[in-house]
Amino acid sequence: MSRDTKRKLVIIESPAKAKSLKSYLGKGWDVVASYGHVRDLPLNRIGVNSETLEPTYTVLPQKRTAVAKLRKVASAYKEIYLAADPDREGEAICWHIYKLLQGKDITFKRIRFNSITRDAIRAASTAATDIDMDLVDAQQARRVMDRLVGYKISPYLWRTVGKGLSAGRVQTVALRLIVERELAIKGFNPKEFWPVTAEFEQNGSRLLTKLFKFEGKRADGDRYSPSDKEKADTVLERVREALWEIDSIEEKKKARKPVPPFITSSLQVAASGRLSMPPSVTMRIAQDLYEGYEINGETTGLITYMRTDSVRIEPAAIEECRGFITEKWGVDKLSPRPRRYRASGGAQDAHEAIRPTDIKRTPELMAAFLDPRHLKLYTMIWKRFAATQMADAVVAETVVLVSGADAVFKATGQKIVSPGFSIADPAQLKVTGEIPSLTEGSVDLVDVSAEQKFTKPLPRYSEAALVSEMKKKAIGRPSTYVSIIATLKKRTYVELKEKKLFPTEVGMVTTDLLIRLFPHLFDVGFTARLEDLLDLVASGKKTYKEAVSQLYTPLAASLEEAMRRLPEIKASMVKETPEKCPLCGKTLLEKMGKFGKFLACSGFPSCRYTRPLGEVAEAAMSDVKCSECGRNMIIRKGRYGRYLACSDPNCGRTQPVPVGVKCPVENCTGELVERKSRKGKLFYSCSRYPDCDFAMWSKPVARECPRCGFPLLEERKKGVFCPSCKKKID
């Protein structure tokens, strides 16, 4: 088949970007999407040679149709441009596509762009290069490391704790942070302290102060305040008897600089705190802003690439920003010199910080194109970037010291002298209240008091706080933060309650076991060093095999020792109880499973009686008879909530739990049963489903509506209501 030498083909990940690229590149260019990864390690085997450590790849089953289409389309072109995202993952996608499509007389080129705008795309198309195999090797090394840990250690968890669990090279270390914080909270010993505050008055102006020194020693904070009521009362007595005067009023002006532009972790933390957005939602909205919106007939990206750990800003963007500031707020609001920020240690610096692609697209202009959530995130990004090139803010801080007898009280106030960058981003500049007009000299004591307080432990991690800690400790990378937290929740290792991450019993037991057996592998420092090693691979200073070997050597040694101790570990996970099985009379054993601790009959497999730990035996047995064999059925808990199972292990029949209310559908002989949706929400439906499709979310009540005669009512938070006439029933 002859190939077209006049037209060029661009292969990009997302179909959402294809339309934009096509319009920017114009005639002679065609654009198709690969829909993300097309090849990966096989699903049903490890796919890594244990001797050479070389991976074996296969086309993903769900991508076979897409790959066949790509091959057919690519066969007509002589020049193919690969345009996946500008990071290691994107580089690897390009390489996999190249390996699948390579053929005689085809030239492959790699184009990279940090934003989806006309100028960025056209500039990238004229600066095409080869695939960066160092970046590809870094991604392959990460993928193989994760596969080795997952496929080597997860089966060990299945044999000791329960099926369905998994270990992860980074995932387990992140879980360790959550578990160690929980243990620290539970083991925390609060200490009592009594901070002392006093209010003074001078010429009608009142000043609220805190005890700063007592008998020549610092007295502020939980460490120095009186440690019990008796000591606090002594301080109060001395304070009330003393004469007071203002010793000094000192004012200092301090310049405050704007913070760097957003990176992935700081964006997730700020969006969580200011907008109450979970990291997963933040990244999804940021992806939309990156891929772009149709504005004035042209689809364009609104922000630069959102998976980055670099605070670097392109010189052209700095100049554009400074020009905008001069025009909008005046040259006096501009920083004297262009501000450039340095990336922290460990940052890949592959592409620049998260910023608007065009500073002239103000939030006010974008309000017509964006929904409220997208606009809020865009506004936060825009303000943070605009502030980077603005003048310092100046804050005047006033410190007042009031002394008398053996005590010194202190008050601090702040006021903004020059707003500087806070004109663009007010959220960055927070000040305390101003000090009232005072002069040195005598003051009157109005009131003094001491309040009992107790020291508190560090709080549990929120999702955003965990991302911040992972960034700080170099665990994971911007592209993996959200997926790591999602995996921990999916595996039921953690639960999100009141926006905090709580480790489950399974998570704590699993973490303890993995740290005991593989202490080196799941050490925070070791994980961070592997991330540094991957950076060296990406820069060409280390090879793929050197990186993978550094993980595989301790993994193989630890796994060999763990297998030797397998009988001992399995025995330690089972505890004999004094309770007897209600079915066969044999001893019940306490075991650990995927959903936590449970009791199981020691007569397994001839007797399959189980129930969750802490649930009484009577609650586990029901009066419902099995329709197959007539035996009593047992209430069990599974992935989708409670269900009934026949007490005879040879029968095996299961069915939903009935709630004692007949189906209200006329002529239906079914009854309502408990069920759970795929998202875990409890609902009630007819036992004859799918013949009868009646269902309701609220708990049914076996009582006829006195108003309209409907055969059942429903229980809600605010009382009992009729689902038919919607009236509240007394």
pLDDT given at position 298: 80
pLDDT given at position 347: 54
Task: Answer for the pair 362, 302: CB distance below 8 angstroms, yes or no.
Answer: no
CA dist 456 and 308 (Å) reads 35
The least confident of 7-16, 281-290, 317-326 is: 7-16
Backbone torsion region of residue 455, taken as left when φ is above 0, otherwise alpha when ψ lies between -120 and 50, otherwise beta: beta
Higher pLDDT: 623 or 145? It is 145
Q: Which residues pair with 500 in a beta bridge?
A: 497
Handedness of CA 517, 518, 520, 522 (dihedral sign): negative
The least confident of 91-95, 228-232, 444-448, 619-623 is: 619-623
Identify the CA nearest to 544 among candidates 95, 86, 55, 173: 55
**pLDDT tens, residue by residue, 178-203:** 999 999 999 999 999 999 999 999 99
Around 607, how many Cα atoms within 13 Å sit in the side-chain half-sphere? 19
Report the pLDDT averaged over residues 661-674: 90
Band of the pLDDT at 292, cuts 50, 70, 90? confident
Strand ranges inside 77-141, DSSP E: 77-82, 107-110
The least confident of 226-235, 389-398, 670-679, 695-704 is: 670-679
Band of the pLDDT at 295, cuts 50, 70, 90? confident
Query: Coil, helix or strand for 20?
Result: helix
Q: What are the two backbone dihedrals, phi and then psi, of residue 521, each rounded to the nearest 5 degrees? A: -65, -40
Band of the pLDDT at 20, cuts 50, 70, 90? confident
Question: Quick one: what percent of the chain has pLDDT higher than 70?
Answer: 96
- pLDDT over 70 (residue 390): yes
Amino acid occupying residue 104: K
Report the pLDDT averaged over residues 206-215: 94
Task: Calculate ∠ Cα 408-409-412, nearest 5°.
Answer: 135
**pLDDT tens, residue by residue, 327-375:** 999 999 999 999 998 766 555 556 789 999 999 999 999 999 999 999 9
Give the domains, in start order, of the chain with CATH numbers: 4-131 (3.40.50.140), 140-188+458-567 (1.10.460.10), 192-257+393-454 (2.70.20.10), 264-387 (1.10.290.10), 574-655 (no CATH), 661-730 (no CATH)
- pLDDT over 90 (residue 680): no
Band of the pLDDT at 91, cuts 50, 70, 90? very high
Report the pLDDT averaged over residues 545-560: 92
Identify the CA nearest to 227 among candidates 456, 457, 454: 454
Query: Coil, helix or strand for 605?
Result: coil
CA dist 32 and 9 (Å) reads 8
Report the pLDDT averaged over residues 53-69: 93
pLDDT given at position 717: 83
pLDDT given at position 199: 96
Place of tokens 């303000």: 383
Band of the pLDDT at 641, cuts 50, 70, 90? low
| pTM (predicted TM-score) | 0.81
Task: Answer for the pair 615, 624: CB distance below 8 angstroms, yes or no.
Answer: no
In this structure, the number of other CB atoms found within 10 A of the CB of residue 227 comes to: 14
pLDDT given at position 27: 87
Query: Coil, helix or strand for 562?
Result: helix
Higher pLDDT: 647 or 341? It is 341
Q: Active-site positions?
A: 305
pLDDT given at position 584: 84
Report the pLDDT averaged over residues 29-53: 91
Distances from the Cα of 148 to the Cαs of 189, 482, 483, 509, 563, in angstroms? 41, 21, 18, 22, 16
* 284 membership: H or E segment, kind and range: helix 279-291
498: tokens are: 């009141």
* 413 membership: H or E segment, kind and range: strand 407-418
Distances from the Cα of 83 to the Cαs of 109, 294, 530, in angstroms? 9, 21, 28
* Range 431-447 burial, b when 16+ CB lie within 10 A, else e: eeeebbebeeeebebee
- pLDDT over 90 (residue 23): no
* 143 membership: H or E segment, kind and range: helix 133-160
CA dist 246 and 724 (Å) reads 73
Which residues are CB-contacts of 303 (< 8 A; sequence separation ≥ 6)? 115, 286, 289, 290, 354, 355, 356, 357, 378, 381
* Range 521-543 burial, b when 16+ CB lie within 10 A, else e: bbebebbbebbebbbebbeeebe
pLDDT given at position 617: 54
Rg of the chain over Cα atoms, rounded to whole angstroms, equals 33
Q: In what order do the strands lie in the sheet with 587-593?
A: 575-580, 587-593, 596-601, 610-612
**pLDDT tens, residue by residue, 580-606:** 888 788 999 998 887 778 888 898 888
CA dist 350 and 308 (Å) reads 8
CA dist 502 and 352 (Å) reads 35
Task: Answer for the pair 131, 103: CB distance below 8 angstroms, yes or no.
Answer: no
Distances from the Cα of 157 to the Cαs of 99, 324, 505, 511, 526, in angstroms? 36, 58, 14, 11, 21
pLDDT given at position 533: 93
**pLDDT tens, residue by residue, 103-159:** 878 899 999 999 888 889 999 999 999 999 999 999 999 999 999 999 999 998 888
pLDDT given at position 616: 53
Task: Answer for the pair 668, 686: CB distance below 8 angstroms, yes or no.
Answer: yes
**pLDDT tens, residue by residue, 254-279:** 999 999 999 999 999 999 999 999 99
The least confident of 92-101, 492-501, 619-628 is: 619-628
Determine the angle formed by the axes of helices 372-387 and 264-275, rounding to 10 degrees: 120
Which residues are CB-contacts of 425 (< 8 A; sequence separation ≥ 6)? 258, 383, 384, 386, 387
Report the pLDDT averaged over residues 287-294: 90
pLDDT given at position 368: 92
- Arithmetic mean of pLDDT over the chain: 90
In this structure, the number of other CB atoms found within 10 A of the CB of residue 342 comes to: 11
Report the pLDDT averaged over residues 563-592: 88
Task: Answer for the pair 270, 377: CB distance below 8 angstroms, yes or no.
Answer: no
Task: Calculate ∠ Cα 185-190-191, nearest 5°.
Answer: 155
CA dist 103 and 219 (Å) reads 77
Identify the CA nearest to 290 among candidates 506, 14, 54, 588: 14
Residue 583 CA from chain centroid, whole number: 45
- pLDDT over 90 (residue 223): no
In this structure, the number of other CB atoms found within 10 A of the CB of residue 7 comes to: 14
Q: What are the two backbone dihedrals, phi and then psi, of residue 13, each rounded to the nearest 5 degrees? A: -70, -55
- pLDDT over 90 (residue 635): no
Higher pLDDT: 379 or 610? It is 379
Handedness of CA 215, 220, 224, 228 (dihedral sign): positive
CA dist 475 and 287 (Å) reads 23
CA dist 387 and 321 (Å) reads 9
